[in-house]
Structure 1
């Protein structure tokens, strides 16, 4: 009986010792637990990233836009976007686009870039060099504009006034960057085609368009 009491006494003593172990031991355990939690939290933040810090403002279309439209403030809005998704040449302020002409159709919400608008960046991108120019022409056969599309490659030719005059190629591999919208109603205007060309060819085509009709052949 005495031995049993000794065993029980030791058991209760062990339990009491565990409950009354030194404070430094409990503190060490708490520190280790806290350190583990902080490591997991840091890993989570690293994976998630700071979304607000990664976002930048970009100009997007506030509505569907048609080619040839001159942009006004109501056509645009500023939208925050993850920096990793922003395309090259994206505009960051509406003032960079207002008053400029849209070169191609754009859907609502689409990011507006420098090559979406008529200008030197579009011309340079279209001809593959810094000396690009954009030239407006009107075609001798207006119905051809119905089949022209932005991005088409065409050769530009003079059209002789009579059969004795041979057509002459003024420029090769011009890039169509804009075809004005077809208007409805009686008072329809001639549609304009905008071509991107190197500076020398652009000057030749621009001069020829003032004195005679022009035609294009498709590549």
Structure 2
């Protein structure tokens, strides 16, 4: 028998609570369509991992100690996921900066690769300073590399005709830069070793270097 033309209240309630087959199919098709639209939107949305940013990179192999020019560095677009922290992005601020270590062609220039407060803070804390040293033994300079850890010694002073032993005036200094080889007017070496030390130790070393011969020992 067909459905009653005058269904009872109970039958009406059942029909409202349990939709018929056609309503169920329509609802499923609508939900499927919404899922397709959402999937398409997700596929078209830019992937953060695929974003690119301009950074400063070395255009050729570079040696430490030379101010950077437009022949040394340039701007390249790199994937965001491959860019290191502290990457340099302003080419004008990079010109004239000094590298603290050798750099390969294509390497991204970061803040801790350049002489400055970022390098000193990363090496010896926020209160660190850079101290230039002229070593008594020129041959020793050839053995020192950026990143070496050294102790700084000052030659003993002469008192009453007797030489006192050398004094350790700083420990665990980080070598930031060894200047390129050059010769002074009389053929004397002008090479300088820059070391990073906490402020008090740096000031003591700088003061001793004014009147005493300086050398270092390696860790």
Count of residues in correspondence between the two structures: 189
Match of residue 151, structure 1, among 147, 157, 166: 147
2:81 and 2:48 map into 1 onto residues whose CA distance is 13
Following superposition, the deviation at residue 73 of structure 1 comes to 2.2
Q: Which deviations, in whole Å up to 9, do the C-alpha atoms of 1:141-176 show, x marking residues without a partner?
A: 010111111111111010236672211111110001
Following superposition, the deviation at residue 58 of structure 1 comes to 0.6
1:205 pairs with 2:201: no
TM-score by length of 2: 0.75
Q: Which deviations, in whole Å up to 9, do the C-alpha atoms of 1:11-47 show, x marking residues without a partner?
A: xxxxxxxxxxxxxxxxxxx99998786566456446x
**Is residue 179–residue 192 contact of structure 1 (8 Å, CA) maintained in 2?**
yes
1:190 and 1:211 map into 2 onto residues whose CA distance is 17
List runs of 5+ in structure 1 lacking aligned partners: 1-29
Q: Which deviations, in whole Å up to 9, do the C-alpha atoms of 1:64-119 show, x marking residues without a partner?
A: 11010111122111111111221111111112211111100001111000110001
Following superposition, the deviation at residue 190 of structure 1 comes to 2.4
Specify the alignment match of 1:102 in structure 2: 99
Specify the alignment match of 1:77 in structure 2: 74
Q: Structure 2 matches for 1:110-129, cutoff 5 A?
A: 110-127=107-124, 129=125
2:86 and 2:65 map into 1 onto residues whose CA distance is 20
| Residues 188 and 36 of structure 1: CA distance in aligned 2, closer, same or farther (over 3 Å) | farther
Q: SS of the counterpart of 1:211? A: coil
1:35 and 1:208 map into 2 onto residues whose CA distance is 77
Worse-matched range after superposition: 187-196 or 101-110:
187-196
1:56 pairs with 2:61: no
Q: Which deviations, in whole Å up to 9, do the C-alpha atoms of 1:171-191 show, x marking residues without a partner?
A: 11000111112348x957421
Following superposition, the deviation at residue 63 of structure 1 comes to 1.3
Structure with more of its chain in helix, by fraction: 1
The alignment yields a C-alpha RMSD, in angstroms, of 2.9
**Is residue 142–residue 190 contact of structure 1 (8 Å, CA) maintained in 2?**
no
Q: SS of the counterpart of 1:107? A: coil
TM-score by length of 1: 0.75
Q: SS of the counterpart of 1:126? A: helix
